Each structure stands twice: as C-alpha cells, then as structure tokens.
Homo-oligomer: A and B are copies of this chain.
C-alpha cells in the first residue's frame, strides 16, 4: 500500500471512497481527545479510573465477569491460549488455517509459548461441528474467529456455534472467541454481544476495525482468567504505565459507531450486489454477513489496476487502494464498510460500477 504505486496514489486522490471510515490520521486522536479534560488522571500500570471504567463497561457489554484492556489483540490472544493451556497442562490448541495467530504473528504462539496448533477445516471454509468432533488430537482450547476474515468474513450458522460450544464444554475444551470483528456480525446473527460471548470461555475484541479507534483490545472472561491475563500482560511488556491514548479513543469511537453496525451490514450487502452484477466479478461471501467481503475479479492484476485508475480519475470514486494476486488470471481485495460509504452519491456510485462492468466486458 505504498504511496508510490499508481493505484494507491489514484485512490488517495479520489473524492469518495467505498471502504473504511477515514484515512488513519492523527485527527482520529485529536477528535477523541477534544471532549476529554486535561486534568483527568492517566491510568497507571492497569489501575485508575480511565482504564477501570472502560474495562467495566466492556465486561458488561460482553456479559463477562471481567475484562482487561490490552495494547494489541496479538498479545491478548496468545495470552488467552496460554492460560487455557496451562490450566489443562497441555500445550495444544486448535484453530483455522488462516487464523491471525498462524499467519500474521511471526509464530509468537510457538516461539514465546511453545504452544502447538492443530489446523482445523479447509482453509476456504469455516470450522464446522464435524471438524471439531473428528479432531484426533487432544487440545486445551479451540479458537473460533467470527467472522473468518481471510476468507471474506464468513460465518458458521448460529446453531453450529451453539453445538460446538456444547461439545467443547462436554469435552473440557475451552472455547475462545477471536472477536476482532464481533461488533460487525451481531446484526446478522440478531444477537447481543453478551449472547454470542456466553458460548465462549474467553473473548477478544478489537477497537480499530469497525469501531475505528487508534489501537487496543479487550480480553474478557471470568475473574481468575482476567487476573492471570494481567500477569502475562506484564510479562509480554504490555502493562504500560499509560494506555489511555488507546482507551479514550476506543471508548469514544465505540460509543460513536457500535450502533451503526447494522447500517454497515446493509451497505455491505448493497455494495456486494453492485460488484456481483459486473462481468467476471464475484464477492466472497456472495451476500455479506458483516460489514466486510472480498472481491474477486478474473483479470490480471496489472490490467485491473489500469481499469480502476481510469474509474477513479473519471468518477472520483475509489473502490480499493490495492490488489492482491490470487492466481495468474484472478486478483482480489478486501472491502470493509465504514462511515465513508454512505457519503457517496448513489448516482455517481452507479456510474462507477457501470464503467467497471463495461471495462471488464471489453477486456
């Protein structure tokens, strides 16, 4: 996404963008701090009103006894799995082959915690009950990521979640929720966060995806789990003297956006439909179940790049800032709906998609 490539450059110069809330600018922090009084005391190594109030608020929202603020989800989730492994005396967990811990964390789970993962399900599918039931290895914890981001944000049926949860409880397997995008799936499941979280022993949520904060995460569970997680937070170097820059912004944007998730979901469905009407374009999932989906186009990356740059310059609408090669003749990108989408005039939007469809047909 470097500024030197033409697609990203053209995208940054469009008037309207179809993805995200806004560019990641210092303004995000300034905005959140505008309403905060300078005399407010910093949190101090995990204590103090700023951090405790937010932790209480999120514990309540998630329906868990206690929640602990972390600088990152990477840290929070490794720690959750470590606690459950230690409790069982077994350093083995299970998760999806495209789990964040498996592909984005430089093997921290293995290198720092010596925890061995069992990869469940085909990488193009979400984990189903039979994947869990048929697992041959004994594990301490199963991690489910809802939605499964790397395959477009897919979800299992809610009944499947309930069945997996029951099975795990019966077998003494802890169930951990990678809820980086938990807020975003609640409208589809038509459940509260607490209802979904009640199926899990521990839960992580993030504040810079749909919520649009600066960084930071919450890890929630029972009191004993939370206390242990604080010890591990210190060991990891995450028990900073002051986490308030992230906490205050997380709280601010949570209040501002958590009720907009249904709107983002509706917008995502509308936009996916526009994409699916275009020649050689398909979205994954076809009908989004959250604010996100992946776009697959059966065209070589360089060709789609030049088509998109043309559209951006002609219509002033930016569809994506990057493209990823899937194979020689298909490329893809991720779409996450945020505040920007609703600002795009519908007539202009249709024009851009007409142009995309025409260009792809000519191609």
Q: Chain B residues with Cβ under 8 A from A1's Cβ?
A: 44
In the assembly, what is the distance between CA of A243 and CA of B240, in Å?
13
Known: A108-B236, A235-B105. A33 touches B29 (CB 8 A): yes
A70 CB contacts on chain B under 8 angstroms: 237
Select one of B234, B237, B242, B246 contacting A238, CB under 8 A: B237
Q: Which residues of B contact A237 (CB under 8 A)?
A: 70-76, 78, 105, 108, 236, 238
Query: Within the complex, what minimum Cβ distance (angstroms) separates A101 from chain B?
Result: 11
A residues 304-343 near B (Cβ < 8 Å) are none
A216 to chain B, nearest CB (A): 8
Residues of B within 8 A of A242 (CB): 24, 208, 214-215
Interface core residue of A25, A26, A107, A241 (most chain B CB under 10 Å): A26
Q: Are A27 and B23 in contact (CB under 8 A)?
A: no
Determine if A30 is an interface residue (Cβ-Cβ < 8 Å): yes
A194-222: contact bitstring with B at CB < 8 Å (1 yes, 0 no)? 00000000000000100000110000000
Expressed in whole angstroms, the Cα–Cα distance for A239 and B73 within the complex equals: 10
Binds B, one of A34-42, A163-171, A265-273, A352-360: A34-42
Per-position binary interface string of chain A over residues 58-91, scored 1 when its CB falls under 8 Å from any chain B CB and 0 otherwise: 0000000000001111111010000000000000
A254 CB-CB contact with B under 8 Å? no
Query: A35-53, CB under 8 A of B: which get 1 and which 0?
Result: 0111111101000000000
Set B40, B44, B231: member contacting A106, Cβ < 8 A: B231
Chain B residue nearest to A48 in the complex (CB): B24
**Interface presence of A347 (CB below 8 A):** no
Q: Are A208 and B244 in contact (CB under 8 A)?
A: no
Provide the bound-state CA to CA distance between A226 and B158, in Å: 45
A38 lies within 8 A of B24 (CB): no
On whether the beta carbons of A235 and B107 are closer than 8 Å, the reply is yes
A275 CA / B27 CA spacing, docked (Å): 47
Q: Which 3 residue pairs of A and B lie closest in terms of their CB atoms, listed nearest first?
A: A75-B237, A245-B245, A108-B235
- Which A residues lie at the B interface, using CB under 8 A? 1, 23-31, 33, 36-42, 44, 70-76, 78, 105-108, 111-113, 208, 214-215, 231-232, 234-246, 248
